[in-house]
Chains A and B, each alone.
Chain A
Amino acid sequence: MKILSLIPIIAIGGLLLWAAQDFPKWGDVESPASKSPVSSHFIGKTGVDTEVPNMVTAVLADYRGFDTMFETVVVFIAGMAVLAILKGSTRGNSRRKDHEVEAEPDLIVTNTVRLIVPVIQIFAFYVLAHGHVSPGGGFQGGVLMGASFILIALSWDLEKAVSRFSIERCMIVAALGIVIYGGIGLLSMMLGGEFLDYAELERVLPVSREMARYHAMLGVEIGVGFTVTAIMFALYANLSSEGSLKQGL
């Protein structure tokens, strides 16, 4: 079996190597991907179009914002699918009876986490809100935020974390994230543009068209942050306890 599976791997690897001879040189300014007007539009016009200094965020949340909306939906789907499979399953109840540990949470660990968690959460907000200017954004901020809840679950136990952020609330927050993202897109469509044409938001915001795009990007990043935070934690809670939401790792 192992030898059989080597055959397609070698075939694909060989194919990829064969293709590489035709690649443009590394960092070549004449290569199609760097020379193409699409790239130069992103590089040259991002600041003009959107007032956003961070080109990556502009491409992600505005030029290709539709992709990002569905990436957020994919995160949401992942949470829903895990919930669908594990909810009400009996698999988690019967396991590891023999070596179940009934220990008190460790004093040093819990106190350290008590100190760290607020810092992580503030940093998460910073990463989320600063995505326009520096590396960061909704996905990264959301992951940090979700990690802070997972840290609570790891150092106390899952029940304590779930009592702070129940799975129902997770799903509501995750859905809310999609509503924020899609809602901004829909609003700009209602105001006369195309779906996700943030510039049209100037009619309701007291700013220029470019700044409207700037602010709308922050809005959609917040939506992404909501969904990612909630689904991060929901995935951890469900998977670590096989759906029972008790004990955890």
Chain B
Amino acid sequence: MENAIAWIFIFPLIGSVLVALAGFVNRKFCYPISVLSMAGSCWAGIETLRQAMSSPSHEVSYILGGWTLDLFPRGVGIEFRADILAALIAMIVLGVGLIVTVYSKIHVEKETPNKESVYYSLMLLQITGLAGICLTGDAFNLYVLIEVAALTGYGLIAIGSNRAAAATFNYLILGTIGASLYLLGVGYLYIKTGTLNMVGIREVIENSKLANSETLQVAFVLIGVGILIKMAFFPFHAWLPNAYCNAPTTTSCLLAPLVTKVMIYVMIRMILSVFGVKFSFESTIWVSWMPWLVVIAIVCAAFLALSQREIKRMLAYLIVAEVGYMVGGVWIYNYYGLIGSIFHIISDACMTLCLFLGAGIILHKCKTTHFDGLRGLFSRMPLTMIGFFIGGFSIIGLPPTCGFFSKWYLITGGMVSQRWEYMVVLMFSTMVMVILFFRLIERIHLAVDESGKNLGKGHGDLGLTKEQTRFDEAPLIMLIPLLVAASIVLLIGVYNQDVVNQIEIFLKAYGLPTGVKYK
């Protein structure tokens, strides 16, 4: 299909309008329309990825409006550019979107009654925005799509309780600041280069020796900080935990795996495609201190996660820590580190999805996600718990889950570039993750309460009645998405070499150092 890349956003766009209109006819139509349009979009995503991998230049370029690319610098008309990285991340966005849409049925009916049409419409537009961010090759178009993704995000979170509305307000202020800084940076770029096309900007920077231009330096800072705010990097993370914990379940399942990860993708895209590797790493001073900021970020986020007594809130802080991993992988300025970062975007999206789907099921069944309410869950819902802990093991980094392999590359990157601080903090945070998840496993298997008091008689006796430990699995429509997500985590782990090969094909063109470059 020639226009596959366009169908990626056309399907959910049509879907969202249809869903909005279907709400006035019969709300029952909303769910099937959403699932169908997401399935169509996924198919287009797979097709685009296939085209990108099989084309000789390893990318698909698509000019919206049929304009020309012949000028130098290019930039008449908006370009969609799916190189392998963009197509891979877009595929992850669409896949997660499809799984969450299938999963959403019961939660949406229960948590946002009478608002299904608005909810699904916003959800489809959210996925459109995120997939568009991955594919666009135009710096200003990226801003517009960030707006689409952000505004739908505010709506999707605030649709829940009154507390969610308060959390959204924080998110809205910080998100707007981040987006404004980005926009200001794009303005500065345009003043100096005269084009908005990402590749066009890079060509101008490289050809006209703009490396020491103050304007570009400031543009880099503005865009960098704007994106760091958007991705909830540690000192700017304050909006994330409240927003994700008070949001309706489906919203957190959709936003948690995607939003922060897509923003890290934007950072990588800005470094590789817009400013260029040489400018970003060698003409700015970020390389020297970013890894140290990452160290602080990971340590603080790990401790904050450790102090939580509630699954969703703990997971929210885990995301903040994971953001630290990926940002660090980029800024240690190393080929392997960047492979690790990109691979970790993919695996982190899958495992966070697993965990949030699992937490959603627990919330649905137990009415709470507090640690104290988990006793006996393994005998009640063995399949759900297996899915949940596959995600957990992947966060820790146990083979053969994908989290092991991405962390492997990150640590390799830290070693070969001799950024020992980054390597040590990765090890440290792995230990913290082990504590976090084995503490949870203990909670669902052993009968010890908060103060250490023995509740059961030992030998697997949890001190619960037969009623409370009876097999009571989640509804299939929720269980199957979770198990699919868990098997994706395992599959990416088993076939990690194929994923890494594709990432290497993409990264080879950028001439990153494979040894120590900084110092």
Contacts and interface: CB of A to CB of B under 8 A. Distances in A.
A88 B118 contact: no
A208 interface: no
Interface size bracket, A side: 35 or more
Contact of B218 (A16, A81, A200): A16
Contacts of B147: 70, 74
Interface in A1-58: 15-16, 18-24, 31-39, 41-42
Interface string A120-138: 0000000000000000000
Interface in A169-226: 171-172, 175, 178-179, 182, 186, 189, 193-200
A160 B195 CA distance: 49
Contacts of A41: 71, 76
A23 B191 contact: yes
Interface in B57-102: 62-67, 71-78
B191 A78 contact: no
B118 A80 contact: yes
B125 A194 contact: no
A116 interface: no
B17 A67 contact: no
A146 interface: no
B467 interface: no
A168 B24 contact: yes
Contacts of B158: 81, 84-85
B215 interface: yes
Interface stretch (B149-157, B284-292, B335-343): B149-157
Contacts of B191: 23-24, 31-33
A180 B333 CA distance: 47
The B contact surface, by secondary structure, is: helix
A88 B221 CA distance: 44
A84 B184 CA distance: 31
A195 B214 contact: no
B486 interface: no
Interface string B181-192: 000100010111
A242 interface: no
B6 A78 contact: no
A167 to B, nearest CB: 11
Contacts of A88: 114-115
A197 B65 contact: yes
B221 to A, nearest CB: 7
B14 A85 contact: no
B277 interface: no
A84 B6 contact: no
Nearest to B191: A33
Nearest to A200: B66
Which of A24, A35, A77, A81 has the most chain B CB atoms inside 10 A of its CB?
A: A77
B144 A22 contact: no
A15 B218 CA distance: 7
B76 A182 contact: no
Contacts of B67: 63
B63 A194 contact: yes
A172 B193 contact: no
B64 A194 contact: yes
B65 A65 contact: yes
Nearest to B204: A32
Given A16-B218, A175-B21, A197-B64, 17 more contacts: A19-B214, A20-B215, A22-B214, A22-B215, A37-B72, A38-B76, A41-B71, A42-B76, A63-B65, A67-B141, A74-B148, A84-B159, A172-B21, A178-B13, A182-B17, A195-B3, A195-B64
Interface of A: 15-16, 18-24, 31-39, 41-42, 62-67, 70-71, 73-74, 77-78, 80-81, 83-85, 87-88, 168, 171-172, 175, 178-179, 182, 186, 189, 193-200
18 contacts: A19-B219, A35-B194, A36-B73, A37-B71, A63-B76, A66-B64, A70-B145, A71-B144, A74-B148, A77-B155, A78-B151, A80-B20, A81-B154, A87-B115, A178-B13, A194-B64, A196-B66, A197-B65
Interface of B: 3, 6, 10, 13-14, 17, 20-21, 24, 62-67, 71-78, 112, 114-115, 118-119, 121-122, 125, 128-129, 132, 140-141, 144-145, 147-148, 151-152, 154-155, 158-159, 165, 184, 188, 190-195, 200, 204, 208, 213-215, 217-219, 221-222
The 3 lowest CB-CB distance pairs between A and B, nearest first, are A36-B194, A81-B155, A197-B66
